[in-house]
């Protein structure tokens, strides 16, 4: 699953012509043959000791196959279902308990397969809190094989959980499409099932749908039979053995395009009229699949791999890796020619790569329980960036590693953090496990460990892991055993340090001594903490890499028991964590840092960004003078890399926020920041130059945004000029600039301009663009206009899945306003937020606050509405507020002194 990425930008169009897929007779025959071949591949999986695996269900029953028949009624928001489940009863019992939520049962029948004995007298007990249904029989059930037949009814929701509908408009008027979202624990809303990762089974799915609509599932369509009443019965091929959360169904007025690659039919599916916007991902998917088939050493086992694009959004996720049928919201995968950026092109690529990587890490091999969710998500995140490095090195994806590390450390350095491998007990806890630690820290740790053991050994270990555990479930140790075997060096202990204990190592570079032509680097390990400065450091075994700046001279060591040293065969300026692969902060002793700052131009760009990131974060917590960062930013040459200037521009915006309560110093800092950034903008220009690298487009957009937030008059005026011309002169707002222009205008809008933007949003027919325009309406700095956006969010106009994003957008500028509004209108807001996201959504609205009173509000909300097991996000938000208050109190004096010294 890809976590939700709320982005106002929309993507790039890639031309090309691909045929629409049709379910011709030869396609059906080929699908049947491929399905049969697929099913023969997965019968022999490693045995698992089920008694040692976490479960919320009674032990003693194991399902092996589901026959599912669904009849959705989209207009009535309901469905009827039939499930026939083949299962093994491992011990005698008089009842069967499985997961079921919001289902009502009309018929229950149990058949013993050996004797054909039928049990039709089941008493049904529903436990809403436990999300289970229990079937109690009057006679005891013996060990053996059974079929459980269930007829039931369920609900179709409007948010992305279970079976849900998404409404949109096209040239023919209002349309409604159906989709499913089952991860982490919502298959039980559609299928009575053993809805836990360990209970893998095969699935046969059939569905009755309107004849003119397309039905999509994990496997190809085997048959489509006209029922004569405007509906058809669609049957899909038998799935591989898989966990319930990977099953998928979608029904709607769709189009499909396909290509063949690596013996697999790759498809993209989108609502009618928007298929061309998916062709970029279709083409890129060929190279992605080729890379993964080679890397994993196990070929993709299903006959087809679809990417399904859906209108709307979720506050929880942007894409889901259903096996053979990846679901993605349009904003993360479609590229519109009228309002596109390079950033969205990269987003579409990494989303496809992430979800395709899950077809192995997650689908083929699945974690035993949500404790090891990172085996799915951390690895898919790591693979997405690795694949970009392989297929698009021109985008400089190596710099993404620093961004990933910074996101992870930002969360991991708070006292409310948790380990990568975490203890999960409840459904709410499982939902909250999809977070920065699982994704970004998981990815960063994998990157460091791969660098430590070597890329070839790591790949060999992954291949062995896939081969051994295909169609089965694992824990983290299963992977570490394979890595240690392939690398022939200790790795288990290092991996355990970084995945089974929380927190961030801090590597002190105490001294660098040049002796006999060699640099001897003295190292010490502590812990980087944002809110526990006197915390006793934990111990990690830390792989450390160092380099002499401007050379290829590299050395490495493992810091163990808190101390270490490293020797380089030459003297010079030493860079620790060279290449930025390590998951730790680096703090240089003052004289070592002074040499580094003096020779900063000799340092590779990626290490310049890493050093700046460390310096900024260490300055915020007071472990280094924060003005050291400002001194570096002051002397950075205009010719420095765009990535360096991107870092500086972003942190300048943060300094402006720190000085919010000191208008005199804030004005002085804005003047300093503009003196540094305006020449960069002048050199860059608003319009792309012929032959410039694609990534320059993203930097230009970011820089314009920061200059706009700093109130740079030229940028504000140019944005307004282009805004007024964009409808009559398309060249005034080319696709790459359209959203940033609208963003600056919306942020600074008066009532008249807001009304113009509102009219544009209401008239827009493209669901992709429409969603972005409504989000922009919520970005105004004017409190009255922000209130109008909140009021609008609770109407039917924006769309039920867009409204929550508008409320969250308002919160970015007006935390108290948005939070108070959401609490006052909780019933209506809950209708617009995924059920699995509510324990995170409401606390998240207060996450930008620096007011201690917000903490009281959050605690009041938690006491009234949150179970104690679902408070992790709330506690993290409160820790973040306290940290920002602390930064303002403790860092502002040094920044004031520094600013005053610049004026002299």
**Mean pLDDT value across the chain:** 92
User: Which residues have C-beta within 8 Å of that of residue 668, sequence separation ≥ 6?
Assistant: 899, 902, 903
pLDDT band at 643 (very low <50, low <70, confident <90, very high): very high
Contact, 278 vs 258, CB < 8 A?
Answer: no
Q: What is the pLDDT of residue 537?
A: 96
Degrees (nearest 5) of the Cα angle 300, 64, 238? 45
Q: What number of other Cβ atoms are within 10 A of residue 617's Cβ?
A: 22
Region(s) of the chain under CATH 1.10.390.10: 365-502
Alpha helix stretches (DSSP H) within 298-413: 342-357, 374-391, 400-412
Q: How far apart are CA 832 and CA 828, in angstroms?
A: 7
pLDDT band at 903 (very low <50, low <70, confident <90, very high): confident
User: Which tokens belong to 18?
Assistant: 């691909």
Q: Tell the CATH topology of 2-357.
A: Immunoglobulin-like (2.60.40)
Region(s) of the chain under CATH 2.60.40.1730: 2-357
CA distances from 152 to 2, 127, 203, 425, 793 (A): 32, 16, 18, 28, 35
- Owner of token pair 């982005």: 7
| Confidence check: pLDDT of 777 > 90 | yes
Q: What is the pLDDT of residue 869?
A: 84
Strands in 317-320's sheet, in edge-to-edge order, are 2-3, 317-320, 325-329, 304-310, 264-271, 254-261
Q: What is the pLDDT of residue 530?
A: 96
Least confident stretch, 12-21, 31-40, 113-122: 12-21
Q: What is the pLDDT of residue 36?
A: 42
- Each residue's pLDDT tens digit, 378-426: 999 999 999 999 999 999 999 999 999 999 999 999 999 999 999 998 8
Give the E-state strand segments of 387-533 in sequence order. 472-474, 504-515, 518-528
- Each residue's pLDDT tens digit, 515-529: 999 999 999 999 999
Q: What is the pLDDT of residue 870?
A: 86
- CA-based nearest residue to 644, from 693, 683, 600: 600
**Mean per-residue pLDDT, 454-460:** 97
Q: What is the pLDDT of residue 49?
A: 66
Q: Tell the CATH topology of 365-502.
A: Neutral Protease; domain 2 (1.10.390)
Q: What is the pLDDT of residue 30?
A: 43
**Mean per-residue pLDDT, 143-159:** 97
pLDDT band at 50 (very low <50, low <70, confident <90, very high): low
For residue 15, the SS3 value is coil
* pTM for this entry: 0.94
Phi, psi of 256 (to 5 degrees): -135, 135
**Mean per-residue pLDDT, 715-723:** 97
Q: Percentage of the chain with pLDDT > 90?
A: 88
| Confidence check: pLDDT of 7 > 50 | no
Q: Which residue has the higher pLDDT, 17 or 726?
A: 726
Count how many residues are written for the chain: 904
User: Which tokens belong to 72?
Assistant: 């959705």
- CA-based nearest residue to 138, from 105, 95, 107: 95
Write out the catalytic residue numbers. Answer: 355
| Confidence check: pLDDT of 683 > 90 | yes
| Confidence check: pLDDT of 118 > 70 | yes
Least confident stretch, 105-114, 453-462, 860-869: 860-869
**Mean per-residue pLDDT, 691-699:** 94
Contact, 881 vs 655, CB < 8 A?
Answer: no
Q: What is the pLDDT of residue 48?
A: 65
pLDDT band at 225 (very low <50, low <70, confident <90, very high): very high
Phi, psi of 570 (to 5 degrees): -165, 160
- Each residue's pLDDT tens digit, 486-542: 999 889 999 999 999 999 999 999 999 999 999 999 999 999 999 998 899 999 999
pLDDT band at 836 (very low <50, low <70, confident <90, very high): confident
Q: Which residue has the higher pLDDT, 42 or 77?
A: 77
Contact, 7 vs 343, CB < 8 A?
Answer: yes
- Each residue's pLDDT tens digit, 186-207: 999 999 999 999 999 999 999 9
- CA-based nearest residue to 585, from 716, 340, 447, 409: 409
Q: What number of other Cβ atoms are within 10 A of residue 591's Cβ?
A: 10
Alpha-carbon Rg of the chain, whole angstroms?
Answer: 28
């Amino acid at each position: 699953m890809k976590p939700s990425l709320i982005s106002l930008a929309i993507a790039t169009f890639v031309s090309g012509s691909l045929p629409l897929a049709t379910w011709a007779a030869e396609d059906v025959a080929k699908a049947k043959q491929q399905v049969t071949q697929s099913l023969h591949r997965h019968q022999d999986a490693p045995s698992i000791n089920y008694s040692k695996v976490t479960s919320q269900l009674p032990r003693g029953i194991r399902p092996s196959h589901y026959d599912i028949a669904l009849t959705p009624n989209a207009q009535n928001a309901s469905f009827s279902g039939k499930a026939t489940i083949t299962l093994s009863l491992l011990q005698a019992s008089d009842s069967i308990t499985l997961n079921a939520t919001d289902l009502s049962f009309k018929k229950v029948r149990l058949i013993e397969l050996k004797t054909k004995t039928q049990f039709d007298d089941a008493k049904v007990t529903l436990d809403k809190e436990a999300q289970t249904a229990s079937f109690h029989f009057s006679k005891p059930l013996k060990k053996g094989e059974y079929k459980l037949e269930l007829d039931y009814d369920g609900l179709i929701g409007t948010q992305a959980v279970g079976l849900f509908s998404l409404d949109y408009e096209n040239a023919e008027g209002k349309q409604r499409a159906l989709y499913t979202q089952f991860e982490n624990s919502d298959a039980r809303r559609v299928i009575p099932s053993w809805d836990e990762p360990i209970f893998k089974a095969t699935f046969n799915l059939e569905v009755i749908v309107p004849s003119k609509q397309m039905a999509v599932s994990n496997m190809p369509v085997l048959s489509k039979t006209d029922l004569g009443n405007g509906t058809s019965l669609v049957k899909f091929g038998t799935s591989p053995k898989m966990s319930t959360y990977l099953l998928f169904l979608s029904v709607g007025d769709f189009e499909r395009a396909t290509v063949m690659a690596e013996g697999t039919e790759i498809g993209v599916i989108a609502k009618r009229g928007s298929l061309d916007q998916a062709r970029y991902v279709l083409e890129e998917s060929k190279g992605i699949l080729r890379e993964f088939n080679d890397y994993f050493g196990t070929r993709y086992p299903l006959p087809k791999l679809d990417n399904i694009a859906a209108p709307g959004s979720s506050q929880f996720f942007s894409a889901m890796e259903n096996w053979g049928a990846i679901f993605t919201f349009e904003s993360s995968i479609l590229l519109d020619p009228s309002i596109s950026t390079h950033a969205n092109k990269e987003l579409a690529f990494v989303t496809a790569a992430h979800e395709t990587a899950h077809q192995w890490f997650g689908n083929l091999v699945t974690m035993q329980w949500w404790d090891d969710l990172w085996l799915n998500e951390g690895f898919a995140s790591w693979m997405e960036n690795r694949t970009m490095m392989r297929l698009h090195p021109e985008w400089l994806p190596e710099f993404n590693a620093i961004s990933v590390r910074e996101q992870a450390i930002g969360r991991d350095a708070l006292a409310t953090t948790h380990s990568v491998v975490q203890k999960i007990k409840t459904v709410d806890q499982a939902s909250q496990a999809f977070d920065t630690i699982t994704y970004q820290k998981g990815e960063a740790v994998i990157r460091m460990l791969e660098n430590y053991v070597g890329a070839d050994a790591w790949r060999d270990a992954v291949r062995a892991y896939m081969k051994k555990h295909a169609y089965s479930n694992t824990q983290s140790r299963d992977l570490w055993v394979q890595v240690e075997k392939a690398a022939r060096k200790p790795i288990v202990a290092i991996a355990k340090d970084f995945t089974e204990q929380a927190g961030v190592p801090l590597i002190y570079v105490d001294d660098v001594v040049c002796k006999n032509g060699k640099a001897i680097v003295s190292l010490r390990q502590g812990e980087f903490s944002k809110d526990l400065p006197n915390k006793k450091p934990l111990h990690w075994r830390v792989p450390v890499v160092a380099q002499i700046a401007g050379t290829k001279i590299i050395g490495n060591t493992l810091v163990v028991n808190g101390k270490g040293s490293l020797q380089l065969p030459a003297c010079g300026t030493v860079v620790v964590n060279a290449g930025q692969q390590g998951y730790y902060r680096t703090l240089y002793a003052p004289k070592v840092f002074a040499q580094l700052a003096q020779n900063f131009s000799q340092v590779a760009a990626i290490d310049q960004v890493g050093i700046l990131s460390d310096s900024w974060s260490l300055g915020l917590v007071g472990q280094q003078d924060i003005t050291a960062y400002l001194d570096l930013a002051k002397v950075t040459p205009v010719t420095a890399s765009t990535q360096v200037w991107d870092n500086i521009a972003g942190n300048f915006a943060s300094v402006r926020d720190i000085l919010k309560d000191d208008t005199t110093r804030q004005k002085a800092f804005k003047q300093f920041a503009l003196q540094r950034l305006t020449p960069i903008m002048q050199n860059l220009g608003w319009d792309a130059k012929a032959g410039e690298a694609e990534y320059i487009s993203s930097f230009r957009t970011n820089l314009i945004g920061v200059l706009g937030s700093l109130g740079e008059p030229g940028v504000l005026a140019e944005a307004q000029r282009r805004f007024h011309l964009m409808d009559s002169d398309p060249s005034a707002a080319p696709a790459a600039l359209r959203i940033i222009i609208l963003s600056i205008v919306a942020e600074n809008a008066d009532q008249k301009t807001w009304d113009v933007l509102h009219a544009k949003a209401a008239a827009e027919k493209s669901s992709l663009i429409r969603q972005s325009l409504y989000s922009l309406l919520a970005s105004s700095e004017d409190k009255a206009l922000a209130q109008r956006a909140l009021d609008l969010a609770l109407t039917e106009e924006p769309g039920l899945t867009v409204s929550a994003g508008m409320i969250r957008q308002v919160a970015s500028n007006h935390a108290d306003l948005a939070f108070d509004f959401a609490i006052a209108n909780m019933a209506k807001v809950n209708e617009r937020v995924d059920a699995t996201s509510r324990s995170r959504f409401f606390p998240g609205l207060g996450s930008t606050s620096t007011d201690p009173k917000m903490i009281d509000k959050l605690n009041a909300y938690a006491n009234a509405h949150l179970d104690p097991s679902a408070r992790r996000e709330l506690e993290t938000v409160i820790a973040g507020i306290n940290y920002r208050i602390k930064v303002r109190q403790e860092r502002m004096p040094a920044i004031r002194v520094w600013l005053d010294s610049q004026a002299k």
